[in-house]
A and B are shown apart, each in its own frame.
Chain A
Amino acid sequence: AQSVTQLGSHVSVSEGALVLLRCNYSSSVPPYLFWYVQYPNQGLQLLLKYTSAATLVKGINGFEAEFKKSETSFHLTKPSAHMSDAAEYFCAVRRGGGSQGNLIFGKGTKLSVKP
Chain B
Amino acid sequence: GAGVSQSPSNKVTEKGKDVELRCDPISGHTALYWYRQSLGQGLEFLIYFQGNSAPDKSGLPSDRFSAERTGGSVSTLTIQRTQQEDSAVYLCASSLDGGADTQYFGPGTRLTVL
List residues of A whose CB falls within 8 A of some B CB.
32, 36, 41-46, 49, 51, 90, 92, 94-95, 99-108
Select A102's contact among B33, B42, B104, beta carbons within 8 Å.
B33
Most buried by B among A41, A43, A95, A100: A43
Measured CB to CB, the residues of B under 8 A from A are 4, 31, 33, 35, 42-43, 45, 48, 50, 55-56, 59, 91, 93, 95, 97-108
Tally A-B pairs: CB < 8 A.
Answer: 60
Expressed in whole angstroms, the minimum distance between the Cβ of A43 and any Cβ of chain B is 4
- Give CA–CA (A19, B105) in the complex, Å: 24
Given contacts A43-B107, A43-B108, contact A104 B45 (CB under 8 A): yes
Interface of chain B, main secondary structure: strand
* Contact (Cβ within 8 A) B43 A102: no
CB neighbours of A46 from chain B (8 A):
102-104
